[in-house]
Amino acid sequence: MEMKSKKLLILYATQTGNALDVAERIAREAERRACSVLIRSTDEYDASSLPAEDTVIFVVSTTGQGDPPDSMKARLTLISFLQNPYFLFLLQRNLGSHWLEGVHYAVFGLGDSGYQKYNFVAKKLDKRLSDLGATAVIERGLGDDQHPSGYEAALDPWMSSLWSGLNEIKPDFFPEGPNFLVPVEELIGQPKFQVTFHDIDNVDSQLSTATDFKYLQMQIGRARLMSSGKVPHEKSKPDAFLKMVKNCPLTRESHEKDVRHLEFEFVSQVIQYELGDVLEVLPSQSPAAVDSFIQRCNLDPESFITVHPREMENHLLVNRLTALDVPIKLRTFVELTMDVASASPRGYLFEARSCIFFATAEHEKERLQYFASPEGRDDLYQYNQKERRTVLEVLEDFPSVKMPFEWLVQLVPPLKNRAFSISSSPLAHPNQVHLTVDVVSWTTPFKRKRRGLCSTWLVSLDPEQRIDIPVWFHKGLLPPPPPSLPLILIGPGTGCAPFRGFVEERAAQSQSSTIAPTLFFFGCRNKNNDFLYRDLWLSHSQNDGVLSEAKGGGFYAAFSRDQPQKVYVQHKMREQSQRIWNLLCEGAAIYVAGSSTKMPSDVMVALEEIISKESGAPRESAVRWLRSLEKAGKYHVEAWS
C-alpha cells in the first residue's frame, strides 16, 4: 500500500495574490498548532500525485476580491484555473470514482457575490474531488468580498471548524491538540528570501550601461525570476518590445470615462500573433514613487543585489544558479518587481510576524496589534483593501516600522503584467498591435481618488517620444474564426476591442475570398459620448461592407442612457431574433466579450428566449441546444471583472 504524506498539503490557485494570502495564513495557523505543512501553487504541483496525499486544503479564487482591475483586464481567475493543466487533469474521465479514495480534503473559495459566477471554481472543484472519491473534512468555505469584512468573515469560522475536523480524523497532525498554540514570537523565523549585496567594483560594468533589447529582455527576466523564486522559463522574459505610434481618445472629453485607441509598432523582433490573442504589458511605475519607497526604507538605490529563495529544492538549484547569480541594481529590481504605489499590501504585512515586530513606536505597535486581532479585522479591511492603501502609504502611516529588505521582498505585492485583448488584425495591420484601453479611476469610501497603474501610464505616453514597452503574447479565449464561419458578435463597451480585429480581418479577407455573414451587437451609454469606433462600424455596415445587410450581416448599437428606459445589447438581440436564428441554423458561432458582472448571463438568457421563440421548442430544449453549441466550440466568452 502506498505510504501517505505526513504533511498537510495546501494548494492554492491565485490571480491577484488573495488566494496565496489565505493559503499562507492557513499554513501559519497550522504551524502554530505544531502541524507540518507543505504549500504549493496548483501550477507547480503534479496532480497525478494527489492519491498519495493524506489531507489537502485547496484555496481557489474566482474573480479575486472585486477590486477595480487595471484597465480592462484582471483576467478571470475562473478562466485561468479552469485552463490550468492541474484542473484539466482532474477532469479526465478515466480517473474513476475511487481515484482519490482515502484522501481527505477541504476547499476555501474567494469570490464576489456581485459577479455572475460567484465562487464558481470552488464549487466546481469541491464537486469534482467528491466525485473522485475524496472525503471532505468540512463543508467548503466561501469568502465574499461583498461582506463588510471581505473574505475574512468566512475564513475565520471556517478555519476554526477545519482544525476541529482535522483533529477528529488525523489527531497525529496536532501532537499537542488543536487548541495548543506556539507563541507567535517563536515562529517569526526568517523571511523566504535572502538578499545578497555585492561589491560594486566586482560587478560587470555592462550591467549598468547596456541598452540593447537582448540585455533588457534578460534583465527583466532575471529580476522577475529572483522575485518569484520559480524555475526559469521563456515567459519570464518579455516576448518583444513595442513603441507607441498613436494615442487617440475614443470618448468625448466631457464624458466620465476616458477610453483610448492605442497603436504600437515592434521595435525588437516581430511576433506573429493571431486574431483574438491577448497582450500582456509590464507597466512602468512612477520614478518618484520608487525613489520615495527606497528612501523610506533607507536603501541604496545604486547597490547591486542578488535575491535567492532560502529554500530551494535540490533539483531546481542547478537550473536557477545561472539566472539568479548575476547581480542587478536594487532600484531596477524594485521598479521591475515590487508594486510599491499601486497594489494594496498583503494582509500578512500587518501581522505580528512582520510590521508589529519591526515597529518601535508604542502607539504604532498597538494599532498594528489591533489590526491583527479578530476585533480589528473589519477596520483593517476598510483601511487596507477597501481604501486600496499602497505599500508606500502604509509605511508612511507607520514611520517607526523599519523592515529589512528581505522582508519587503516577501511582503510587497509583486508588480504584475496587465492583460489586454488585442483590437487589431495582423492581416490588416502587419507589424502593429492595437489596444482599446479604458483608463481606470475610482473613488474610495473615504473619497480618495485612485487611478489604475497600467492604463494611466499607457495613455500618458507621447507617441513622439520613444519608450520601449515590454510585452508578452498569449492565446485568448476567442479563437480566430475561418472566413466561411458565420459570426454573431456581442461586445458592449470595451468588449468591442477584439471584434474590431475580427471585422478588420474579414474586410481584408473579403478582397480575395468570399466571407460568411457577420452580425455585431454593440452597446454603450450615449451615442454622442462613448460610441467607440463609431465611424469604423458604420463604414463596414454600408456599401457591401463586412457588417452590411447586403452581405447577410448587420450592425446594431444599443445606447443605454439615451432614453428614459435603458436599452442594452440583449434588447437589440431580441429585436433581431429571426436574423440570429437564421444564422444559427447556418452553423454560426457566437462570440461574447465584455464585463463579467451581468452581461454574459443576460446575453445567454436572451439567446435562450430567441431559440425557444423561433424554433417553437420549450426553453429547456433551447438551454440544451446552447450547451451543445458550447461543447462544439461555437460559443466563446471572454469576460473580465
Binding site as annotated, residues: 14-19, 61-64, 145, 388, 418-421, 452-455, 494, 560-561, 566-570, 602, 640
As a whole number of angstroms, the distance between CA 263 and CA 260 comes to 10
As a whole number of angstroms, the distance between CA 354 and CA 352 comes to 5
Cβ pair 494, 521 in contact under 8 A: no
Residues at the binding site for FAD are: 388, 418-421, 452-455, 640
Cβ pair 549, 514 in contact under 8 A: no
Residues at the binding site for NADP(+) are: 494, 560-561, 566-570, 602
The C-alpha angle with vertex 491 and arms to 487 and 494, in degrees rounded to 5, equals: 140
Query: What's the one-letter identity of residue 622?
Result: A
Strands 518-524 and 487-490: parallel
Element (H, E) at 410: helix 405-411
As a whole number of angstroms, the distance between CA 478 and CA 273 comes to 13
Cβ pair 467, 461 in contact under 8 A: yes
Rg (CA), the chain: 26
Nearest in space to 49 (alpha carbons), one of 86, 88, 104: 86
- C-alpha cell recorded at residue 115: 459577479
Residues at the binding site for FMN are: 14-19, 61-64, 145
As a whole number of angstroms, the distance between CA 59 and CA 15 comes to 12
Q: Residue 538: which residues within 8 A CB-CB, separation 6 or more?
A: 555
As a whole number of angstroms, the distance between CA 144 and CA 119 comes to 8
Question: Bridge partners of 263?
Answer: 246, 434
In the chain, how long is the greatest CA-to-CA distance? 81
**What is the 8-class DSSP label of residue 46?**
-
Provide DSSP, 251-308: S-TTSS--EEEEEEEESSSPP---TT-EEEE-PPPPHHHHHHHHHHTT--TT-EEEEE
As a whole number of angstroms, the distance between CA 24 and CA 410 comes to 12
What are the C-alpha distances in Å from 151 to residues 18, 69, 244, 378?
A: 9, 18, 40, 11
- C-alpha cell recorded at residue 270: 516581430
As a whole number of angstroms, the distance between CA 508 and CA 589 comes to 20
Query: What's the one-letter identity of residue 296?
Result: R
Provide DSSP, 281-296: E-PPPPHHHHHHHHHH
Query: What's the one-letter identity of residue 235?
Result: K
As a whole number of angstroms, the distance between CA 342 and CA 310 comes to 27
Nearest in space to 187 (alpha carbons), one of 9, 37, 309, 313: 37
Query: Phi and psi (nearest 5°) for 583?
Result: -70, -40
Q: Which residue has the cell 482535522?
A: 166
